[in-house]
């Protein structure tokens, strides 16, 4: 157990990591007896972790039915992407306006780690590697960390967690071999460090939308359906 980490925190972190890694598949029921044995914990600690994951949109609970990992669908993917774009770009505007040199240093460090991580799992090249996924999350968290509004950052982080399920499970269907994700991240970083607010917002929006458009074009997230129309940014107010 990590230093200072409670048992409840450890179980929550393990559950979350296993869901994001696809060890509990989308739509799968999370049975208390099996999970208590697997994680060597009590029902109370397990339920606490599941409730936290429910708040983040990674699992859902139903009366008399218990919990299950959220299912993936095209309508949910579109709603999720629209929400992410609006919240993350708003938070980024605050981060650029409020962030200091320490924030810039943190962001540079996160980008350096991301640029050094292998994107695909060497043991299963159809899947993203755990190291890259962690570094990717750290970079996007650092990107918004200059914002002083903790509520905005918390909501944005929760939406990205939900989107992680689509990234992890839809990559084999929606992978675009000529996409330069590293260049997209570098472009966002460059605009942020230049304090070019509109360029940074546009590049982050395009980054979020492009992943979704690839998945929609492949029909990913909703097996048996025809590919949907591409996502377009919501009109400005």
- Say whether 74-218 and 7-69 share the same fold: no
Fold held by 74-218: 1.20.120
Residues β-bridged to residue 94: none
Predicted TM-score (pTM) of the model is: 0.73
User: Which SS3 state, helix, strand or coil, does residue 63 take?
Assistant: coil
Taking residues 197-202, report their average pLDDT.
98
Cα–Cα dist 107/235, whole Å: 30
Architecture per CATH, domain 7-69, reads as: Orthogonal Bundle (1.10)
**Whole-number percent of the chain with pLDDT over 70:** 85
Contact 212, 77 (CB under 8 A): yes
> Residue 221: what pLDDT?
47
DSSP state of 222: S
> Residue 174: what pLDDT?
44
> Residue 92: what pLDDT?
98
Mean pLDDT of the chain: 85
Helix (H) or strand (E) holding 236: none
Contact 62, 22 (CB under 8 A): no
Query: Could you tell me where the DSSP H helices lie in the chain?
Result: 7-20, 32-39, 43-55, 74-98, 101-116, 130-144, 150-174, 181-193, 197-218
Token pair 């770009």 is at which residue?
89
233 has pLDDT over 60: no
Domain boundaries, the chain: 7-69, 74-218
Q: Cβ atoms within 10 A of the Cβ of 208, count?
A: 24
Taking residues 106-121, report their average pLDDT.
94
DSSP state of 5: -
Q: Dump pLDDT digits (tens) for 209-225.
A: 988 887 787 654 444 44
């Amino acid at each position: 157990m990590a230093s200072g980490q409670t048992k409840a925190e450890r179980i929550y972190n393990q559950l979350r990591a296993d869901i994001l890694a696809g060890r509990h598949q989308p739509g799968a029921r999370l049975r208390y007896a099996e999970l208590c044995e697997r994680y060597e914990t009590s029902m109370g600690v397990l339920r606490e972790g599941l409730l936290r994951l429910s708040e983040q949109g990674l699992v859902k609970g139903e009366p008399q039915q218990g919990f299950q990992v959220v299912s993936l669908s095209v309508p949910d993917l579109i709603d999720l992407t629209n929400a992410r774009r609006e919240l993350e770009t708003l938070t980024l505007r605050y981060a650029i306006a409020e962030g200091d040199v320490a924030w810039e240093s943190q962001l540079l460090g996160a980008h350096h780690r991301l640029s050094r991580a292998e994107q695909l799992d060497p043991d299963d090249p159809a899947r993203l590697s755990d190291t890259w996924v962690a570094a990717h999350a750290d970079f996007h968290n650092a990107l918004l960390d200059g914002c002083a509004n903790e509520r905005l950052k918390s909501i944005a982080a929760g939406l990205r967690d939900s989107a992680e399920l689509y990234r992890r499970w839809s990559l084999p269907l929606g992978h675009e071999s000529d996409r330069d994700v590293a260049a997209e991240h570098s472009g966002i970083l460059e605009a942020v460090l230049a304090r070019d607010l509109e360029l940074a917002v546009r590049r982050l929006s395009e980054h979020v939308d492009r992943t979704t458009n690839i998945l929609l074009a492949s029909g990913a997230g909703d097996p048996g359906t025809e590919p949907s129309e591409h996502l377009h940014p919501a009109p400005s107010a």
